[in-house]
Homo-oligomer: A and B are copies of this chain.
Amino acid sequence: MPSSFHTLTILAPGLLGASLGQAARARGLARSIRVWARRAEVRLACAQSDWCDSAHADAQEAAAGADLVVVCTPVEHIVPLAREVSPVCAEGAIITDVGSTKSRICREAAAVGGRAVFVGAHPMAGSEKSGMEHARADLFENRTCIVTPLPSTPPAPVDRVVRFWADLGMRVKTVSPEEHDEIVAHVSHLPHLLASILSVQLAGKDPEWMSCAGQGLRDTTRIAAGHAGLWRSICAQNREEILRAMEGFEEEWQRLRSALHNQRDFELERLLERGKRFRDSL
């Protein structure tokens, strides 16, 4: 028996928000699903879909009386939108989000006041594609969602948010916003930047070379196709943790470079072997 909400409002239905709407409808998690979208063509597409009951040009109108609001905008807009809709939600409503960074968002959103409680979340789903045309009801299934309450967040709304994401088929993990940001700096943001910089370097080479590129390069760089503006915001919001993760990478990288440069080939092999064991265990 899923935890059900009366009115779910999705702010900014892109890939994640529209997938969320489809999944919530398919699983019966809300009686009514409303969206707010800035662009008229997105509102039209939502209104014509079978998962959306109404599409609004005004965020307060979309969230009026809602008992669950999910903010699906780029990270820098999450807190301003939470501030805007919190006074018009149902009393005791929950606002959650899908942002890839959490410390700053959760700290600032806790202070917005209004009628709602903010409980941060980061569903680790999505892809290098963006836009609601790529949305699918099964996007969240068997993926991990990290829910990041503050010590001051009341337990009942945390439980409901945990249950909401679990009802979407996700494996839910609860950690502090700070730990979340440290983890994703390493397992998501750093890999993204490595893929991007490798791509930047290769962009400066003879395009003919790329006919020699195999599946390895394609896989290693796939995430570099992500939206640059979104990633600029993520980097800005998680700057310190990302810089720390970059430093950790550089230490190991210099160890490798030194082994290669000084012909300590078996030390190099041990490093590669350590990486292989990790990757095999993933």
Contacts and interface: CB of A to CB of B under 8 A. Distances in A.
A236 to B, nearest CB: 5
Contacts of A275: 195-200, 203, 221, 224, 228
Contacts of A242: 260
Interface stretch (A27-35, A52-60, A152-160, A209-217): A209-217
Interface string A218-244: 111111111111011001100100110
Contacts of A225: 276, 279-280
Contacts of A196: 256, 271-272, 275-276
Interface size class, chain A: 35 or more
Contacts of A229: 269
A277 interface: yes
Interface string A89-119: 0000000000000000000000000000000
A184 B220 CA distance: 15
Contacts of A183: 209, 212
Given A199-B275, A276-B199, A217 B191 contact: yes
Interface in A158-200: 171, 173, 183-184, 186-188, 190-200
Nearest to A220: B191
Contacts of A75: none
A180 to B, nearest CB: 8
Nearest to A221: B279
Nearest to A278: B203
A191 B171 contact: no
A240 to B, nearest CB: 10
Interface stretch (A42-50, A79-87, A247-255): A247-255
B186 A190 contact: no
Contacts of A224: 272, 275-276, 278-279
A263 B237 CA distance: 11
Contacts of A272: 196, 224, 226, 228, 231-232
Interface of A: 124-125, 127, 143-144, 146, 171, 173, 183-184, 186-188, 190-203, 205, 207, 209-229, 231-232, 235-236, 239, 242-243, 246, 248-250, 252-253, 256-257, 260-261, 263, 265-266, 268-282
Given A187-B210, A207-B281, 15 more contacts: A173-B211, A183-B212, A199-B279, A201-B248, A203-B277, A219-B222, A219-B223, A221-B282, A224-B276, A228-B272, A228-B276, A232-B272, A236-B263, A236-B265, A239-B263
